[in-house]
Amino acid sequence: MKVAIVTGASSGIGQSAAIEIAKRGTGVILTYGNNPQGGLETATAIEKEGGTAVVLPLDVGETGTFAAFHDTVTGVLRDTWQRDTFDYLVNNAGFAHTSLIEDTTEESFDRLMRVLLKGPYFLTQKLLPLMADGGAIVNTSSNAAATAGLEPGYSAYGSMKGGLNVLTRYMAKEFSTRGIRVNAVSPGSTRTRIADDAFTRFPEVVPALAARTALGRVGEPDDIGAVIATLVSDASRWVTAQNIEVSGGYDL
């Protein structure tokens, strides 16, 4: 059985990606940051469908914990799947924080950098020895890093996601010698718990976002989760170094 690791799978896009990947017959190690209940709910949903899931805590902003996480994953692979490798990595965990450049603190900038760019960089580095040749990585980016349709307030967040897009291409280049494919997905406005559940707290912003989207609505987590599951699967075996916007045609 193939095995995937999905970070930030306690809600939203990560939760959907984990469930969609499991539906295709892949075992899933899923991580949560500060929402253990959500992580358990994701695992329960996978197991209800006959899949196998293991839930682990992980703070992707704390690189010092990655060695211990590597060791835990090694044990889980051995005990649950009788394997010493896994196949797919989805670097999805993240958070959003918006502020104008003139108001952005160095502290909030550094935290975004640690979670959105440094975290995926060094987590991938740490897990690479456990990855099977011919595997796949998907990095969750954002259309906040696009070249048009920008919104004020996303300068730091978008810059980190832009860095992740460049990192995706370098990963694809370097890991190609092992047959490992690396791609990014860039969601548009999506109804998730990011930014402290902003869509629930500010429902008035939804119609304006839907109006700017060609397909006439905001995204749902499953819209993006399905694409991530497809990208790690063999259906995308000839796709690498791509950043796929999954936004319903935002600002088209």
Domain parsing of the chain, residue ranges = 3-246
The rounded radius of gyration (Å) of the Cα atoms in the chain is 17
> What pLDDT was estimated at residue 79?
98
| From 154, 157, 170, 250, active-site residue | 157
Mean pLDDT, the chain, whole residue set? 95
Cα separations in angstroms, 17 against 26, 121, 149, 230: 12, 20, 26, 10
Top-tier CATH class for 3-246: alpha beta
Residues in the chain with pLDDT values less than 50:
none
Tokens 């929402």 correspond to what residue?
35
Q: Which of 58, 51, 60 is nearest to 73 (CA)?
A: 58
Q: Is 170 a catalytic residue?
A: no
How many percent of the chain have pLDDT more than 70? Answer: 97
d(CA 188, CA 164): 16
What's the confidence (pLDDT) of residue 148? 86
pTM of the shown model: 0.96
φ and ψ at residue 183, rounded to 5 degrees: -135, 165
